[in-house]
Chain A
């Protein structure tokens, strides 16, 4: 009896009445679903902003590296005015240390003047 009943139930397939209307209602519901389309403008803006961010980060890192390397680069000739202040202070210190040795002070100035003269000669080159 049980097997016979199961056989009957298996044979009796439920029939879908009006399948077209069910398909239509499925498609209608699908068309109502929100579509998550990203606009091309947004895609380009994102790409441009990302590139700019990467560029700025690279620039920042580059500048930081340059700043750290700056003391090493200071071994190159100093600007004339800066050099002049250093020369004056050297000679004045000598003068303070030894009041009686005027010739030594004079020689110091002479020596520094000759260095300065050399520097003035190279000024056009430094300027370039």
Chain B
């Protein structure tokens, strides 16, 4: 979707045009689902997060500054919602799903896709010991491939906080993989 069309849809949605907002949802929901799934590791929770995100977008659209990037703003709302869910979720320590992990590590073909349930199980197990902030920074930076500047805008953290959280997240991940390899 080009910028002019997007701006037009935003303007119409601000005037409570449901059809325009529907197009905005259709255009951005996959992106938000992907982020929510990677953070929450569960299809139902991810869908709930997508719904809540777009309801918040609709309710706050009148205050949206059109000079900002719309996708970054939607990302920020979704990330805040997932952060609250991660904080309230009970913390379980999961052991790594050996079969999936072995398949991933032995498989040279990166393009080969994992099915969503495998991906969810793997992400949940890998990141279960990370704090919500570390998990968010790791997901946005390493999985969603966003720049530090964008993560600053989304999370409201400083660049240094992002760097330190990312460092700690990678360190925890490495530690988990090493312990898995040593125990094999």
Interfacial residues, chain A to chain B (CB-CB below 8 A): 1-2, 4-17, 19, 22-23, 25-27, 29-31, 33, 35
Chain B stretch 141-183: residues in CB contact (< 8 A) with chain A: 142-143, 145, 170, 173-174, 177, 181
In the complex with contacts A22-B51, A30-B21, A33-B58, A13-B104 CB distance below 8 A: no
Interface locus among B3-11, B25-33, B63-71, B82-90:
B25-33
A30 and B61 alpha carbons, distance in the complex (Å): 13
B-side interface mostly: helix
Q: Which residues of B contact A15 (CB under 8 A)?
A: 116
Known A-B contacts A10-B145, A29-B55; A16 and B181 likewise in contact (beta carbons under 8 Å): no
A8-B143 in contact given A19-B26, A22-B51, A30-B58 (Cβ < 8 Å): no
Taking CB atoms, residues of chain B closer than 8 Å to A6 are: 142-143
Partner of A16, one of B22, B33, B119, B122: B33
Most chain A beta-carbon contacts within 10 A, residue among B101, B119, B174? B119
A–B Cβ pairs within 8 angstroms, 26 of them: A1-B181, A2-B170, A2-B174, A2-B177, A4-B105, A8-B110, A8-B114, A9-B143, A10-B145, A11-B111, A14-B37, A15-B116, A16-B34, A19-B30, A22-B47, A22-B50, A23-B26, A25-B51, A27-B18, A27-B21, A27-B22, A29-B55, A30-B18, A30-B55, A33-B55, A35-B16
> Apart from A2-B177, A9-B38, A31-B18, what 18 extra A-B contacts exist at CB < 8 Å?
A5-B101, A8-B104, A9-B123, A10-B142, A12-B119, A14-B34, A14-B37, A16-B34, A19-B26, A19-B29, A22-B29, A23-B26, A26-B25, A26-B51, A26-B54, A27-B22, A30-B54, A33-B59
Task: Look across to chain A and name the residue whose beta carbon is closest to the beta carbon of B117.
Answer: A14
- Residues of B contacting A8 with CB < 8 Å? 104, 107, 110, 114
Q: Tell me how far the C-beta of B183 lies from the nearest C-beta in chain A, rounded to whole angstroms.
A: 14
Question: When chains A and B are docked, how far (Å) is the Cα of A19 from the Cα of B142?
Answer: 25
Chain B residue contacts of A22, Cβ below 8 A: 29, 33, 47, 50-51
For A5, what are the chain B residues with a Cβ–Cβ distance below 8 Å?
101, 104-105, 126, 177
The CA-CA distance from A35 to B59 in the complex, in Å, is 10
Majority secondary structure of chain A interface residues (helix, strand, loop or mixed): helix
In the complex, what distance in Å separates the CA atom of A25 from the CA atom of B29? 12
Q: How far is the CB of A28 from chain B (nearest CB, A)?
A: 10
Could you say which residues of chain B place their CB within 8 Å of the CB of A35? Answer: 16
- A11 partner residues in chain B, CB cutoff 8 A: 110-111, 113
Tell me the bound Cα distance from A35 to B177 in angstroms: 52
Query: Closest CB of chain B to A18's CB: distance in Å?
Result: 10
Taking the closest CB of chain A, its distance from the CB of B136, in whole angstroms, is 15
Check A14 against B38 for contact (C-beta < 8 Å). Answer: yes
Contact residue among B29, B58, B119, B126 (Cβ-Cβ distance under 8 Å from A14): B119
